[in-house]
Each structure stands twice: as structure tokens, then as C-alpha cells.
Structure 1
Amino acid sequence: MTDETKSIDRETYPHGETSYLGKSGFLSIFIHVQNQNPKRDNSSDSAKPEPTVPSPSRHLLFSFMDTYLEFCYTWCPILEREDILKDPGLESSSLLKQALALLGSQINPPLLKHETPAKYYENAKSLFYGNYERDPLCRITAVMLMYWWSAGPPNIVSMDSQFWWTGIAVKLAQEIGLHRDPSKDQVLRPGETAGLRRRIWWTLFARERLTSICQGRPCSINPSDCNVRPLTLEDFPAGKSRQGEIFIHWVRLCEIVGRVARHLNSRTDWQPVPGDISEDLVAWVNSLPQNMVPPFQPNAGAFDREVNQLFLPYLSVITLLYMKRLTQPLPKAYTAGILAASCVARIFEDFLARGTLRFLQGVAGWSIAIAILALLHARRVECLKEHAEQHLEILFTALKEMANHWHSSKMFVAGFESLTDSDSFMSTAKGRPDTHPPPTRAELDDCQLDYLVEWDGVSYLDYFPGASAHTSAMFNILLKYDPPNLFSDILVPNDVSMQYQDLFDGVWLEQSYDVEQMI
């Protein structure tokens, strides 16, 4: 390394944090030499003075931490309450404070005076790009907390999107070697544990897989480059076994979701989905413990916010796999897709009944939109029409509520409203009681229920273990139908989720995406 190179390295990276270097380029043999260079003494570095950024009060900071622990920890288990007083941690990190304030004010805004989420975001972004945060774990944690905020829609190139920040977090994690389990003699950073490393890594892995299926974009995490073992409850702090158990199953589901996305994105024409994917989905739902009762089982019991969220990507993937693009503007949905969409409506009915959707991640709006597409087709079938419209009313209400906080949901609302005359498109059977007797077999035949599919050895009912005619009116109708023939030609296109993006093109670009309007 020349003196010139040393000077550039010192000026650009004044904090001297050692990065991860693999074996392929032999750069790892120079790490020891560089770290022993006396000219690299960090004590002589004069770091740039951090800009003055108003810090949330102690009361607000604890409130924001409570919001994170209540609504976000299960899906992003990277901070603990005691981290507020730790150094390095919230106590010493302006960046982390701003990121936590962004999350807290977005999900559960306090009644005390505070900045807007947009202001907290701008503060955090300025601190991040100014390279004022010395601790790499604090940098990664702060960026990951920004996931509950998006300054623009996904169809516009942006350095403020969830896709962008997730990619940044992945690169930061790879740079310090979080994609590899620590060796026995590896010295961990202050506040770093093997369990925390794994929780950070698998959170990023799951997020990237969801982004891939939603937006049709490739993943940057290649499992063959990683040796991080699967999570166990031992990787979670004491008292977090419930959240840990849900998160472990969440990561397993997202791994399947990622394989679905990769398969679909690799196809150039309409081809069947491999049977192992559907079998893995069925195996996943059957592997869940008894305390994670699926929302489609009649005995689902008390409302469980985390379990309902756990099932959203599962149901959305099934809906995607059982929809087929036609020459008409809207796709055709098959039985499994319609049933999954009706379950999504049931979940959001539970959410809406409890008053707010602000705690949901932005991807929930995509789940709503996919369910709406399936139910719009179900509405064309006479004996399903009334129940489909009831589900659509719930989902449109939820989507509009999500649109108050998420640009992507705002785009979906505008896109749906532009497809059809709003009066007929949004019409529902409001206030009309269900007084119809159960349909007869002849009436079911007249419904033209030609959707039932047994596909690659997996029956559509296998996706819904424990479901029965008592699950919902939609299940009651479709489960009573014994199809005269079974279809085996369910085909899925390349980029199955984003194939429907053109349904909304144009109107998306016409919308105002002023950040302050979304507060």
C-alpha cells in the first residue's frame, strides 16, 4: 500500500473500522499488517463535528422504544429496551435516536410535541450520509429501522425507498461479515453477540425475499455465500421466546417466498411452477405449533396480531400462484387464490375492527392489492358475488387507510379507481343481511365454478389445513362444490406479481408524492 493510498484511506475512513475480507482475493493477509500500522492510530483522528440535530426527549425516546417493542420487534428483533442506556447504543448515537423516532412517530405518534416522521427521516439520512456514526452495528440498526417509512413509490427510481435502504443495510452487514457466523476466536464488537448478528442477518434476508416477490427485483443475498446457521430460540434474549418463535417461522416462509420469486423471474414464458414449491408451502403451514392457529381455521380463537401478519405473505403467494393473466384487464383467479384472498380480507377485518393499520409494514398494502385482484374475478361468479363484494369492501377500506401512510398503497388505490368506473367498481352489498339459504348442487353448477385445481399432487385444500365450511361463507360455497374435472394446467408467468403493474401504470406517475402530504 503506497503512502498516497494510506492517505486516501485515512481521510475517507477516519474511524479505522476493520471490514470483512474473504479469502478469494488474498486481501485478508494484509489486515493484520494494516491494523498494526502506528500511523493508523484512531486516537489521532479528528472526526468531523456532528451537526446539531434536536434529539427526542427522554420521555419520547422511551415511548418510541415501547412502540418498536410492541409492534416491530417480532419482525426486526435487533434492539432491546436496555439499549436506550447503552454505549454504544441509543445513548450515544444521534443516528439511532433519529431512526427510532422516525419509526415511533410513524406508527404511534405521541400527543406530546415532536417532529414529523419526514423531519426525523431527513435528520437520519443526513447523519448517515455524513458518516458521523462510528459504530457499524448502530449504522446497520438505524438503517433497518427506516423500513417503516418510505418517501416515494416503488415504480420511481429513488434513493429513499425501502428497496434502496434494505440494499444499503445488506451491504453494510456484508462489509462487517454478518453473512458469516463468527469463528471461535473472533473478537466481537462492544454490544455484539452471535445471536444479535444472526437476528440482524436473517431480518435482512427475509426483507429482501419479500421485496423480490413484490417488486420483481433480484436479491443480492446469495445463500451460497453465507454460512449463518438457522435461528433457534437460544439466539433471542430471555423473555422473547414468543416473538422468537414467530420470527423463526417467518424467516422459513420468506425463504420459500424467495425461491418462488427467483423461479418466476427466471422464466421467459408461461410454465408450471415446480411441485416442490407448493409442497414446501404446505409443509410450512403444517409445521406451525398449536399456538399459531391459522386465520382460516374456525377455532382460530382470540385475535393475534403477530400470527395474522405472519400469514399475509403465505396467503399472498398462494393467490399469486393461482391467478392467470388473460387478455382482459384483470387476471383470472382459481379456487385456491380466491380462498386465500378471502382469508386476507378476514385478517384485515380483524385489523380494522381494532382501529388502526399504522403498525403494518408497507408490504401489507401489496397483500391487499393482490387479494383484491383475485376477488374482483370472484365477483363475476354469481353465487360468489355477494361475499366477494363484502370482502372487497373490507379490503378497499384497508387499502385506503394504508394509503394515508404509504405511497405504494396510495398508488394501488389510484390504479384500481382508474380501471373501472368508481361507482360500479367500488359498489358493495352494504348493510344487506345474509338471508340466502345454502346453495344447492345445481345452483353451484350454474355458478360455473371451474376453478378447482389439483396441481402437482397438491390439492388446493392442502394449503388450508383445518379449514371447513364453517370458516367463512366463501369456504362454505367452494367446499361444497365437487368439480367434474380437475385442472392441471395452472401456469404462471415470468415476474408473476409485477405482471400486474401495468394495470396501474400512468395513474401512479400522476399522483403527488409530496412527503409532507403523507404525514
Structure 2
Amino acid sequence: MGSSKLTPSPSPAKGDAKKSRAKHACRECNIRRVRCDVTEKQPCSNCLAAGASCEILPSRRGRDSMQDASNLRNNAPQDSEDSQGQEVEESSPSPVPGTRFYGESSFLTLVPSDEEEISSRSYASRGNNANSHKQRFTFPLPATPQSTSQTTEGRTDLSPGTMRYLRNEGALTLPDLQSCLPALEAYFNWFHPSWPLLDRAQIARRLANATSFSSVDISRMLLQAMLFIGATYCDAATIRAMGFEDRYQAKTTFYTRTRMLFHADWEKDETVLIQSLFLMSFWRGAPTDVRDVRYWLGIAITLAESYGFHRSSRSMSKDSHTARMRRRIWWTVYVRERQAAASLGLPSRIRDEDCDIEPLSPSDWETDNSGPDSPFGSCLPEHVTYAIKMVEIAKLLGKIIDVHFVPGNASLSVTSSNTLRDLNISLEAWRESLPEHIKYSPEEGSDSVWTCLLHLAYNHLKILIHRNSFLRLESTTPGSQIVLKAACRISRIAEDMCTQGILRYGQMHLITSIFSALCIHTITIRRGTGLTRRLAEHRAETCLLCLKEVQKYWRINNNTLDLFLHHGHLSRRRESALKPPR
């Protein structure tokens, strides 16, 4: 991996030639299983380089625990073995393995401990004096054989039968590394900017100079999930190079392998598990498949909340890098959950009033560059703008869901009317806050997929806010006209994206936006006459063509869309048959 290893200091009594294991390690080095020089200085070199809190673990070698607590410098923590030579700056942004989050309602928040005092002192030393006495919300769980049996190849405590099953089914199989690199490159070029839940620089460092996946310190489950997404965006030649006949076979294979590893309880790293589950939520199986987007997202949300990802970093006492990654992961899940709820007409699973995590800021992308020689690219200003603005519009989307989809809400009431007016004002303010280079020009179009996606989301929310006015046959009302204009803009943006060849790089909410516009155009066809109807037919046809193009990359299992495609074809045949002969 090209990372230098720290050389352990020789024993003061005698120079032992065997130095493969460090005698003492701080918490962070022990988690990452790298060598630690905390016995020589504190903070250790690894924690000092990463800006992390260097906490010494209690002794597990039979020494008196009270004596160890009073003399931290002479503690003997757990052994740490450097199996991969990874420096701590590449550490996973997860909370301490074996910890759990407890909210304000738990009595555990009132229980002091030595760990609490150590954490408070470390946190205060980083300049957060105002929060040094805050109640802790995460507590370590007792170590078990299961919690310490994770290796770079996965779980070592699984039964022989389970391991045999996983190997026979190919769950542990990966294509040749070199053939997969274009798929991973496509992942970071087209998926990662929208959903920045991975540490791009960390992945790039761990893949640098690697000759095979067996020498890469990346979770096997996460790699399968990343390749599942990468197979959506890479070209056909890469699909064949990885050994698959077509894109659907590749995506199905990678998804199935990831799912089997999840059900085998393969992955124990909390953050990696959330990341993998999130990626699995982009699977589109049969319409009757219960393991759909909401299934995988539901598990990811449950785990994220169990580990306190929705809470302020001030409460969680995390170092700056970990806090940045936790924010990116949480808001990524948040945006996806809001979009899924709106597209399916179902209630949101995340309540804003339960969350006090800080909003995203440009500083959260400070380390999201993989270097000039890496094929995985770097973070661009428009990537940051897109992610931050999508969080803002997702919050508005959640309020719209509450207005339209919560049972018992009276959409015709004065309160709801005022709410819709306020939502419309907020949405317009959101659009005005966009940087000039992000604002979409219908005359010139845009060659940026991120600009197009932002404005597709904006116009989709316009339709959702005013759709009841349109559906009540009030074609002359301002709300109805807003819906028509928004649907026309969506058709135009989709057409521009298709013309420029960037439609395939759009995200899942692109499908929802285009489908909503298709529904509006179809209703207009039924209602309109003359030129109005012909224009609506043309726009509906554009939406259908774009959705058919997207189906090549994202399988759309939508029975309603199938009806549109089927009856649209019959309608064209019928019109052709009715035309008089020349």
C-alpha cells in the first residue's frame, strides 16, 4: 500500500529481535490494528498526524484496574498487530466498535465513568471547553470474541458451513482488480458527488499500487456494493471485462453477493455496514420483492440512529475527520429517504425534530481529494453545492410529504393553504440562493449533470406543492399553471440531458421527476384540444423516450410506467391507422 510503518521501540531491558507485535496501543491504533508508539509519547504519532484523540485503553493483562486508571502512562492496553501497514489517517470514520448510542431518555447518560472523564479531558483539550461537561451519549460495550474476530478477509468466527456456502455461492469472489477499476472510477465520477458517504481519498490510498483485491484493506461487502453501483455507470466494455454478459447480470451478481454477506452477518464495522446497506437500496428487483429501497434504507436508518449519526458531534465527542464523515453519511441517507418517501407516496421515516446534527458545510469536503494521479478524481465546487442544496430541498420535500401524504390532513383547509404558500415561498428562496453558474437557462441548457438534477428536483417540488389544484380541474388557477410550467421544464431538461448524452448519469430522483411530468402531460392530453393537446403529446413522448433510455441503466419496475409504454404504443398505432392514405 505504500504506507510507512512505525518501528516499535526496543525494550529497555534487552533488544528483542522479534518486533511483529506492539506491546501497548492507544484506542485508535487498537481499532485499526496498527502499531502504536504511545509508550514513548502521548499523543502517539498516528493520532498526532490524524488530529485524533489519543486515549489509552485499560489494561487487559491482569493488572489492577484502579492502579492503571491512576497511572495512564504505564497502562498496558490490548495488543495491536499491524497486518496491513495502514497509517491512522486512513482510519474508518466509524464510532468505536462495540459502542452504542443512548439518548436523553436513558438513565445511562447520568452514569459517570473513567472513560467519560478521559473523553471529556481529550475533548476539552481540543478547544471545546463549553462542551467538556456534556453528558455522554455513547458507551463502550464489553468485548466479546465475536466483536474482535474481524479481519481484512471478514469474520473468522463463522461456521465452516456458512463459509463454505459463501464461497460456493461466490459471495467472496471479486473480478480481477484491473478489470474493476473503470467501474470504481465510474462510481466516484458519477455517483459519489451525489451521495458522498465514502472517503474517496481513503479508498484511493488503499487501492494504490495494489495488484489484487486480496491485498486491499477494504471490506469485501463494501467492495461488492460499490461494484454493484459502478456497474450502472461504467461502459459495456468494462461489464464484459469483469466477466458478465450484460449490465443487468453484473448488477444482479454484485447485489446478490452483497446481500448474502449481509445475511451471513459478515460485516461488523458499524460505518461500513451503513454504507453498504445504503448502496443496496438502489437495487430494483421484481415489483413483489419485499427487499426494496425502503427495506434497505430502513435498516440503514435504524443502524445510523442506533450509533447516534443523527446527533450533534458535540454530543458524540468525535474528532474532526470522523465528525465530517458522519455528517456526510447521515445527510446522504436523509436525502435518499426523503426522495424515496415522496416517490412512493409513503410517510418519512426520519423526523427532523429528532435530529440536531449540524448541516453540511464546504469544510466537510476538505479531504475528499484522491490526488492528481488517482483515477477516482477530486471534489469540484459544483459537487459541494449540489450535495448541500439537495439537503436543503430534501427538508422542504419532507414538509410537502407531511402536507399531502399524512392521513387525515385536509388539503383544502386554510391552514394547509397557508402552509403550501409558505412552502412555495421557501422553494423560490432556495432557487434564488443558487450560485449563478448553477442556475439553469432554458435557452442555453446545461452540460452539467448536477445543475440539471438540481432543477429537476426544484420543478418536481413545484408539481408536488400545487398538484391538488391541478387535479381538481382548476386549469385557470395560478397553482394549476405552475404545475403545467414545471412539467414542461422537466421535459425540456430531460430532452437536453438526452441530447448531450448525460441522461444516463442522472440519479434515481431523475426518474421520479420525469415520471411526474409524464403524468401531468397525460392528463393535459385528456383535457386539452387542438394545439394544446398536440404539444402535450409531444412532451409526453419525450418523457417516455427518456425513461426508456434510463431503463438501460436503472431498471424501472413501475407497473404504471409499463401501462404508459404499452398504451402509448397502441395509441400511436391507432392514430397511424386512422390517417387517410396519401
TM-score (norm: length of structure 2): 0.63
Query: Does residue 185 of structure 2 align to residue 66 of structure 1?
Result: yes
| 1:67 shift after superposition | 0.8
**2:338 equivalent among 205, 209, 230:** 209
**1:255 equivalent among 389, 392, 395:** 395
Call closer, same or farther: CA 1:427–1:356 in 2, change over 3 Å: farther
CA RMSD between the two structures: 3.4
Whether the aligned pair in 2 keeps the contact of 1:365 and 1:409 (CA below 8 Å) is: no
Whether the aligned pair in 1 keeps the contact of 2:232 and 2:554 (CA below 8 Å) is: no
Partner of 1:286: 432
| 1:276 shift after superposition | 0.6
Partner of 2:563: 415
Quick one: which amino acid aligns to residue 91 of structure 1?
A: D
Quick one: which amino acid aligns to residue 287 of structure 1?
A: S
Partner of 1:365: 511
Query: What SS does the corresponding residue of 1:213 show, helix, strand or coil?
Result: helix
Residue pairs, 1:398-413, within 5 angstroms: 398-408=546-556, 410-413=558-561
Partner of 1:323: 467
Whether the aligned pair in 2 keeps the contact of 1:403 and 1:410 (CA below 8 Å) is: no
- Rounded to whole Å, the distance in 2 between the matches of 1:320 and 1:136 is 36
Query: Does residue 23 of structure 2 align to residue 23 of structure 1?
Result: no
Whether the aligned pair in 1 keeps the contact of 2:400 and 2:464 (CA below 8 Å) is: no
Residue pairs, 1:27-66, within 5 angstroms: 27-28=108-109, 35=140, 42-43=147-148, 47-48=157-158, 51-52=166-167, 53-66=172-185
| 1:405 shift after superposition | 4.5
- Rounded to whole Å, the distance in 1 between the matches of 2:482 and 2:572 is 26
Partner of 2:233: 107
By relative contact order (CA 8 Å, sep 6+), the higher-ranking structure is 1
- Rounded to whole Å, the distance in 2 between the matches of 1:411 and 1:36 is 47
Structure 1 stretch displaced more, 64-73 or 122-131: 64-73
Whether the aligned pair in 1 keeps the contact of 2:311 and 2:357 (CA below 8 Å) is: yes
Query: What SS does the corresponding residue of 1:151 show, helix, strand or coil?
Result: coil
Whether the aligned pair in 2 keeps the contact of 1:312 and 1:344 (CA below 8 Å) is: yes
**2:310 equivalent among 174, 179, 185:** 179
Query: Does residue 272 of structure 2 align to residue 138 of structure 1?
Result: yes
Query: What SS does the corresponding residue of 2:101 show, helix, strand or coil?
Result: coil
Partner of 1:97: 223
Whether the aligned pair in 2 keeps the contact of 1:399 and 1:409 (CA below 8 Å) is: no
**2:359 equivalent among 230, 236, 240:** 230
Partner of 2:325: 196
- Rounded to whole Å, the distance in 2 between the matches of 1:426 and 1:141 is 49
Query: What SS does the corresponding residue of 2:106 show, helix, strand or coil?
Result: coil
Q: Deviations over 1:248-306 (max 9, x none)?
A: 0111011111100111123444415421111111111111111102244x355x42111
- Rounded to whole Å, the distance in 2 between the matches of 1:313 and 1:31 is 47
Call closer, same or farther: CA 1:107–1:160 in 2, change over 3 Å: farther
Partner of 1:437: none
- Rounded to whole Å, the distance in 1 between the matches of 2:382 and 2:502 is 23
| 1:410 shift after superposition | 4.5
Query: What SS does the corresponding residue of 1:160 show, helix, strand or coil?
Result: coil
Partner of 1:452: none
**2:455 equivalent among 289, 311, 317:** 311
- Rounded to whole Å, the distance in 2 between the matches of 1:310 and 1:71 is 15
- Rounded to whole Å, the distance in 2 between the matches of 1:183 and 1:412 is 46
| 1:347 shift after superposition | 1.3
Whether the aligned pair in 1 keeps the contact of 2:335 and 2:394 (CA below 8 Å) is: yes
- Rounded to whole Å, the distance in 2 between the matches of 1:357 and 1:412 is 21
Query: What SS does the corresponding residue of 1:229 show, helix, strand or coil?
Result: coil
Query: What SS does the corresponding residue of 2:241 show, helix, strand or coil?
Result: coil
Call closer, same or farther: CA 1:39–1:97 in 2, change over 3 Å: closer
| 1:113 shift after superposition | 3.0
Whether the aligned pair in 2 keeps the contact of 1:16 and 1:40 (CA below 8 Å) is: no
Partner of 2:533: 385
Partner of 1:397: 545
Query: What SS does the corresponding residue of 1:251 show, helix, strand or coil?
Result: helix
| 1:21 shift after superposition | 1.4
- Rounded to whole Å, the distance in 1 between the matches of 2:231 and 2:388 is 28
- Rounded to whole Å, the distance in 1 between the matches of 2:447 and 2:502 is 14
Quick one: which amino acid aligns to residue 48 of structure 1?
A: L
Residue pairs, 1:433-444, within 5 angstroms: none
Partner of 2:20: none
Partner of 2:493: 347
- Rounded to whole Å, the distance in 2 between the matches of 1:44 and 1:113 is 31
Unaligned runs of 5+ in 1: 1-14, 429-519
Query: Does residue 257 of structure 2 align to residue 128 of structure 1?
Result: no
Whether the aligned pair in 1 keeps the contact of 2:103 and 2:109 (CA below 8 Å) is: yes
Q: Deviations over 1:92-123 (max 9, x none)?
A: 31101100110111222414133511011010
Whether the aligned pair in 2 keeps the contact of 1:372 and 1:392 (CA below 8 Å) is: yes
Partner of 2:386: 246
| 1:339 shift after superposition | 1.1
Call closer, same or farther: CA 1:361–1:403 in 2, change over 3 Å: same
**2:203 equivalent among 56, 68, 83:** 83
- Rounded to whole Å, the distance in 2 between the matches of 1:148 and 1:177 is 24
Sequence identity (%): 22
Call closer, same or farther: CA 1:355–1:25 in 2, change over 3 Å: same
| 1:426 shift after superposition | 9.2
| 1:66 shift after superposition | 1.1
Unaligned runs of 5+ in 2: 1-95, 116-138, 151-155, 208-214, 245-249, 368-377, 577-582
- Rounded to whole Å, the distance in 2 between the matches of 1:334 and 1:425 is 31
Query: Does residue 295 of structure 2 align to residue 164 of structure 1?
Result: yes
Partner of 1:487: none
Q: Deviations over 1:183-216 (max 9, x none)?
A: 378256xx96211110111111111111222112
| 1:400 shift after superposition | 1.9
Whether the aligned pair in 2 keeps the contact of 1:403 and 1:413 (CA below 8 Å) is: no
| 1:404 shift after superposition | 4.0
- Rounded to whole Å, the distance in 1 between the matches of 2:103 and 2:193 is 32
- Rounded to whole Å, the distance in 2 between the matches of 1:427 and 1:361 is 35
| 1:353 shift after superposition | 1.7
Partner of 1:499: none
Query: What SS does the corresponding residue of 2:314 show, helix, strand or coil?
Result: coil
Query: What SS does the corresponding residue of 1:19 show, helix, strand or coil?
Result: strand
Call closer, same or farther: CA 1:363–1:90 in 2, change over 3 Å: farther
Query: What SS does the corresponding residue of 2:196 show, helix, strand or coil?
Result: coil
Whether the aligned pair in 1 keeps the contact of 2:196 and 2:329 (CA below 8 Å) is: yes
Call closer, same or farther: CA 1:152–1:98 in 2, change over 3 Å: same
Call closer, same or farther: CA 1:403–1:23 in 2, change over 3 Å: same
Whether the aligned pair in 2 keeps the contact of 1:341 and 1:371 (CA below 8 Å) is: yes
Quick one: which amino acid aligns to residue 279 of structure 2?
A: L
Call closer, same or farther: CA 1:419–1:284 in 2, change over 3 Å: same
- Rounded to whole Å, the distance in 2 between the matches of 1:185 and 1:63 is 37
Call closer, same or farther: CA 1:44–1:212 in 2, change over 3 Å: closer
Query: What SS does the corresponding residue of 1:74 show, helix, strand or coil?
Result: coil
Structure 1 stretch displaced more, 138-147 or 35-44: 35-44
TM-score (norm: length of structure 1): 0.70
